[in-house]
Structure 1
């Protein structure tokens, strides 16, 4: 089964398969959006809804049918059963609904995230935005990894990061004050900034619409892996605080500070 995964990864079949799964999960989520769905609180005080749970159940079922021997690390399963004791050489990182807080309040920037990690590197990923019916994913063209974007049912389009302009724009978490955000954006060479939720920030960098996404607060690996895969396939970078690429399978599956960059 591992040999099959390697072939599917190299041919592009795997990238297409996980996109179909993510878009199916998006269709599970949408009926719960803006209808006052019930909210529970997890042990870490973060919210969870039936949309998170049902989307993750679908993703795990589908991945288990296609690649049953590959370890899965999924946000809601971890919340219920605890962290795995270690990461395998290859494993899936799954966030079935990134941006749950915004989802609950009716915002559009929530996403479904599936990423394949191999030897610590996010080698394939898909990010799907159910509210806007848009997916971003990795793919293969002429033997090289590329990044693509489409609206559901439409043709895929290649995307690429832009060269950094003189007045670069940063994307930042909504959790910081305007003053903090302005300082952080300037530290990474950006004269302007915009607040946004979820892993969509990585994808907008990959499209060439923005230039940097610095993050100082903690995140889990399932928050970033799929977006990082897409951004790197588009020519961008995601660097940890030591200047090295952000890697996966760390203790507790937690990230420290990082910065995602376009051109």
Structure 2
């Protein structure tokens, strides 16, 4: 059965639709986790597994069935067929399994990511962490944006960024050296930092556990869009190097340096 995407976005119904879909994709992924899944190396030397591909296939099929005709830009499809020449004003950005390297190692910090972009800005998104059975989504309460978190099968709780403390803490990419992480955290006023994988970093800021996520290395838009949506709904910001909100639909879907900030 098809539905109006704009109506679901305006009513807030899209939050539950995306959360249910991301959690179903998480259930597809979990049997591959810590099961010695086959690892394939893509042309850019990044890894992909059957878990990535199975989750993406589910997400694309379900979105197309409910919202036919809406363009979808998904990581594994792009790896196989290349980036589209142009994007619609309204399109999906999908990373079915962010943090694949950590997933292969057996780590817990990997996520399912689905975001909706309109006019170059992210307007909705969901991040689901299969290993911890936790989902974060941008939603609406009484007509106002909110970030929501739930454990699979449980009710929603509102989460919000914390006011910037006297000793703010940064969360950074797990791949950084200690020296790099310390220098980058200090650049944004943080004396302490912690490393982790995937878009989980945006969600940890959104729920008030950290204050900044600075990134200098390149990322793709599907790596950031869903987490960006959740963090903005929680009262945070994601800023490009020029101080403007990080935009989407850029050439090649590449991000430059950015920082995600809480209160």
Please give the residue correspondences for 1:1-263 in structure 2 after superposition, counting only pairs within 5 Å.
4-263=4-263
Q: Is the 8 A contact 2:2 2:66 kept in 1?
A: no
Instruction: Determine the C-alpha separation between the residues in 1 that align with 2:38 and 2:64.
Output: 28
Extract unaligned runs of 5+ from structure 1.
none
Cα distance between partner residues in 1 of 2:91 and 2:181: 34
**Moved segments of 4+, more than 4 Å:** none
Q: Any idea what SS the aligned residue of 1:25 has?
A: helix
Q: Name the Cα RMSD after superposition.
A: 1.2
**SS of the counterpart of 2:132?**
coil
Structure-2-length-normalised TM-score: 0.98
Once the two structures are TM-superposed, the CA of residue 2 in structure 1 deviates from its matched residue by 11
> Which ranges of structure 2 fall in alignment gaps of 5 or more residues?
none
TM-score w.r.t. the length of structure 1 is 0.98
Q: For 1:180 and 1:222, how far apart are their aligned partners in 2?
A: 24
How far apart in 2 are the matches of 1:56 and 1:186?
37
CA offsets 1:45-74 (integer angstroms, 9 cap, x no match): 000000000000000000000111110000
**Deviations 1:132-177 (Å, cap 9, x if unpaired)?**
0000001111111110001001110000000111111100112221
Give how far 1:14 is off: 1.2
Secondary structure of 2:191's counterpart equals strand
